[in-house]
Each structure stands twice: as structure tokens, then as C-alpha cells.
A and B are shown apart, each in its own frame.
Chain A
Amino acid sequence: MKFIPALAAAAALALGLGGSAIAQTKAGFIYVGPVGDLGWSYEHDQGRQAVVEAFGDAVETTYVESVPEGADAERVMTQMALGGADIIFTTSFGYMDPTLNVAAKFPNVKFEHATGYKRADNVSTYSARFYEGRHVIGLIAGRMTETNTVGYIASFPIPEVVRGINAAYLAAKSVNPDVQFKVIWVYTWFDPGKEADAANALIEQGADVIMQHTDSPAAMTIAEEKGIFAFGQASDMMQFGPTARLSSIIDNWGPYYVSRVQAVMDGTWASVDTWDGIAPGMVQIGAFSDRIPADVQAEAQVAVDAIAAGTLHPFTGPINKQDGSVWLAAGETADDGTLAGMNFYVEGVDGDLPN
């Protein structure tokens, strides 16, 4: 039911952006949730603020929050482009086709689509290798679970989310052969009530460590209340679970946004596909909690360093697919193409992957 705020915002934007006469670079941002979600959209807005800080008055930024994926997104993008935006960041997977459609109509406006795989002359894609972070928290989860059950709150069955489940599972399994993952698909990015219900259901089914691929800190709050462990997702989320939070995967978009806006100002912008991980700092691992034993902390830190150095790839064979067929032979690492389109569980994950 988020179409109404988005519509009103689009209308406000149309009114608000028309009047400026100063030759500024205008950057627009479209968020799938509220900037106050303290998760995914919050971190994208932190990136926007980094742009503001870097360029001051030379760049004017606008954003529209809580824009549903689909036709409404297309409307908001069109309004932004009509309002004179030079570059528009569309920050959710479901904005992919709308972004391509609008980009075709405005060849002079640059578009940057997060987590997608379709590009055009004026559409770049960018994403972070969150699976590198998933590997690290997967190791910690495998060591910390006492019930050998890790609960996973998943949003939509898209490659990005499936990759995260697989990476975390493989890492947990490597240190704890008995570990089992229970996955709940909530089919939303942001619905604190539903995310909390899912966390409760997982705890009732025996999970004592929760991971999430949704945008609000609701699950962290429930983990704190029930006295189990959880990880911050997209943002650190420390304040929601001071004792429950073990670590976190933090998205750091600021440097990328600054460099892309700079490229527009310099006239050097070109359509690229960026997929950065822990090494360039687009994915950060939050501080380890004191509740993680020192040897486990050291083990996780070794993994972080190895991934940053390029000596460890979270998807290194031998790995079989869920149906038992061979995916990667021993020592083989996954190529980016397969990772970007990952639509299967690896061997050992229970349940069917919805399609």
C-alpha cells in the first residue's frame, strides 16, 4: 500500500524541481523503503549525503522514498528526468525494467541501477558482493549455534538473495557439519510486523541464530527479546540488539555515488557494471561482538582478510547443487555470470527454492 506516498511524492517533485535556474548537476535517488528503515534504504541515503558533503552546492540531490517496484517507479523516474535530473540512482532490484524503459525515453539522462543485470548506453548497474559478507557471518553463525539451526528471513527468490543463503550456508557448514538452515520467504523488503512474525516462527522452530535479507531491524529486536543471536543487515543495527547482535554486513555506497556523480560532472560517465566487495570497501563487516569467543573472532577475521586479499572465494569447489549434480569441481571458483544469475540452492540446503 505504498503507492499513495509515492504518487504524492512524485507530484511534489514535479512541482518542486521545475523552478531552479542555476546550472547545477542534479542527482536523483529512488528508494524502495523509507530512509528511516535503518537498513537498506537508510544506507543508500547515507550515500546520497556523502554526495552532498563531497560537492556542496555544485550538486543538487533529491530523493523519493517508499517507491513500489513496478509502474509507480517508472512514473517517479519520469518525473525526476523531466525535472532536470542528470543522473538517477534506482536502488532496488525490482526497478530494473522500469529503469530501462525510462532510460530509453531520456537518452541524455544517466541511470544507475542497483543489483540488476540489464544495461544500456545510459544505464549502468552496480552492486556489492554481499555474499562475501555472508560468508563471514555464516562462519560465525556455524560456530555460535547450539541448536545447529540457523533461521534465515528471505525477501524475494532473486539471485541476490539466493546467493546470500548459499554463501552463508556453505560457510556455516564448513565449520559445523550438522548445521541446518531454515528459510522463510516473506515476499516483502520492508514490513516490520511480518519480519518480526517470521523471526518468531523461526525461533519456535528451534533457530538460535537469525540472519535476514529484509530491510528493517525488526528481527534484531525480536532476537534481543528472545535472547538469541542475529546479524545486522545492510546497516549495523547495534542499537536494536546490543546483546543479540554478533556482527553485521554494512553497505557502503558513498564512495561509488561520489565517483559516479563526479564522472557526470566531468563528462566522462560511461555505462559500466560495477560489482565490488570487501576489498574496495563497498561491503564492510561490522565490529565483532564480545560474545563471540576469541578463536572464532580470529577465524572470521582471517576470512575477511583472505577475501580482501583475493585469496579466498566464498564459492570454491567442490560444491554440488541441491539435486546432487556437480556445480564446481574441487578448487574451481564460481564465475561472476553464474553468481549473478544464481537460481539454485547448493547441496544441503533444505526446502524447495520458489520460482
Chain B
Amino acid sequence: MDFSALNPVSLMVSLMIAATPVLLAAVGELVVEKSGVLNLGVEGMMIIGAIAGFAISVETSNPWIGMLAAMVAGAVLALIFGFITQFLLSNQVATGLALTLFGLGMAALLGQSYTGMKPPSTPHLDIPVLSDLPVVGPILFSHDPMIYMSIALVAGVWYFLNRTRGGLILRAVGENHDAAHSLGYNVVMIRMGAIAFGGACAGLGGAYLSLVRVPQWTEGMTAGAGWIALAIVVFASWKPWRLILGAYLFGGVTILQLNLQALGIGISAAYLSMTPYLITIIVMVIMSADRRRASINAPASLGRIFNASH
């Protein structure tokens, strides 16, 4: 077995690209769940972001405007979910699933005239000297800016949740909405804000998929990435930094198994190809093995309907 053909640098670069859509969607969903809302519509918001980002990028020839549009589109879709669950008090699980269906169908409709088009390319960072450094250059200094932004976003979310008053209020709403309400916080509006943020992040993750990772629009192209994002939030036990670990682990195993197959390693491809999912499940089992710890980490009001008149 010749492992010298495995280039760790290019593996690292590929895994970051594979992990970023999931990471973006997961960090948004984490904030939503921290506010006590379970939005299972991540897949739908991602695919809407993918087509909105793609369409607007093609029309304006500017990938950044496209990504902005993807965030808006994801947020708008999320606000529909927010309106139905927060004001009409519908079941969050059912509404989230419906949102996924709606998003997939809507994206297919919107995307009809965009199949087979080429999006404007997203420029990569090219810092003189730094980008040319061996090993460190390609891994740290020559990505497209979205990869840095996704990590900065995780850092920002961590800071917001743990170091600011706003974050404390958001967590209070998620832990005990009745108590937060009695203290005078507007539970519904805080949750609407979190839901919109989650939608924007999922939309951005989708746009990354259609503009950078695959560069094309195809119906149903998220192919389950939204569900992986949901799993990674649980995997990370609602801690922002662990999202990076989860997403990169998932992306890393995905990329590594493809490369090992191309190398012709003697492990059956069937086993290699299930490893990303297997590892996700194993880690989730380990994380939730200690029931008390797991239940402490989950926001106490997660998925419960809040009714101010009670």
C-alpha cells in the first residue's frame, strides 16, 4: 500500500470544503435550538439558499450578492416556519418537516431555468508570501473567504451565547420560556430572531454548496446535508466549538474514505463508505451514554410550545 499518494495538504483542503456547508447550517440551527425551538427544516432552507444564491449570482455575476440573497431567502423561509410555530402555535416537528418538503419543491420550481448554467467563480484568498508557504499556505491561507467566515461565525456565536447579555437572555428563553416571560422578555420575538438567523445560516450553507463545492445547480442537490447538520448539533451537545469538530470529522472521514478507495486500499468499499455515518452514530451514542449529562446540555424548553396566556 502506497500511502505517499495521499497528500495530507490537499486532503485537508478538500475536507474543509466538504465540511463548510454543514458547519454553516449547523451553527445556525444551534442558535435556534438554544432559543428552545426545534426547526427540522434545515434541508429545505439549505436548498432554497442553494438556488437563490445560484440564481442571483448568475444574474448579477457576483457571488457575494448571491450569498447575501441566499441568506435572505433562507431567513424568509425560516420566518414562515417562525410565524406558524410561534404565532399559530403549531407543532414544531411537523412544521419543520413540512418546511423541508416545501423548500425542496420550491427550489426545484425556481431552479428550472438555471440547470446547466455556470456560476461566477468565487475568488480564493491569495496573500503574498503567506499563501505560498509550504503546507501551511494551502491549509491556512489560500481558501475562499467563506471558509474563514464559517469559523469566524462559530467564534461569534460562542462569544454571543456565553459572553453577552443578549446571549444569556436567548439561553434563558431556551431553558425556561415561562420564567423568561415572567421576567419581561418577549419570548416570541427573541425566538423569531433566532429562527431568522438559523435560516440565514442554512441558506448560506446551501449557497456554498451550489457556488463553491459543486459549482452548479441540480435539483435536490443538498442530498441530506441538512439532516447531517441537525445530527451535528446534537453531536456537539449544543456547544459551538464542538460543531467545528463534528463537521470537520464528518467531512474528513468522507474525503478520506474516497481517497482510500482511489488508492485501492484492501478494505471493502462498502465499509469505507459507511464510515462517516457510522462514526456520527457512534459518537452520538457515546455523547448521550450519560443520560444526566446529555439532558443537562439540551435546552430544557427545546421543541415545547410557548403560550403566554398560560
- Chain B, residues 11-22, CB within 8 Å of chain A (1/0): the string is 100100010010
- Residues of B near A240 (CB, < 8 A) are 116, 216
Is B101's CB under 8 angstroms from A201's CB? no
Q: On chain B, which size bracket covers the interface?
A: 35 or more
Question: What is the number of contacts between chain A and chain B, taking CB atoms within 8 Å?
Answer: 130
B115 sits at the interface (CB 8 A): yes
A191 sits at the interface (CB 8 A): yes
The contact sample of 27 A-B pairs, CB cut-off 8 A, is A1-B226, A36-B111, A36-B112, A36-B219, A183-B261, A185-B273, A187-B270, A187-B274, A190-B220, A192-B223, A193-B223, A194-B223, A196-B214, A197-B14, A197-B18, A200-B14, A201-B14, A201-B258, A201-B259, A204-B14, A204-B259, A207-B262, A217-B218, A240-B216, A352-B266, A354-B269, A355-B270
A351 sits at the interface (CB 8 A): yes
Is A38's CB under 8 angstroms from B115's CB? yes
Interface residues of A in 221-241 (CB under 8 A from B): 221-222, 225, 239-240
Across the two chains, which residue of chain A brings its CB closest to B215? A221
Q: How far is the CB of B273 from chain A (nearest CB, A)?
A: 5
- Residues of A near B112 (CB, < 8 A) are 36
Q: Which B positions have Cβ atoms within 8 angstroms of A? A: 5, 7, 10-11, 14, 18, 21, 43, 97, 100-101, 104-105, 108, 111-112, 115-117, 209, 213-216, 218-227, 254-255, 258-259, 261-264, 266, 268-270, 273-274
A104 sits at the interface (CB 8 A): no
- Chain A, residues 32-55, CB within 8 Å of chain B (1/0): the string is 011111100000000000000000
Using A34-B108, A37-B219, A202-B262 as known contacts, say yes or no to A352 and B255 having CB atoms under 8 A apart.
no
Q: How far is the CB of B142 from chain A (nearest CB, A)?
A: 16
Interface residues of A in 300-355 (CB under 8 A from B): 350-352, 354-355
| Given A4-B100, A192-B221, A201-B14; 19 other pairs, CB 8 A cutoff | A1-B223, A5-B101, A36-B219, A38-B115, A157-B269, A185-B270, A190-B220, A190-B223, A193-B222, A193-B225, A197-B18, A197-B255, A197-B258, A200-B14, A205-B263, A216-B218, A239-B116, A351-B264, A354-B270
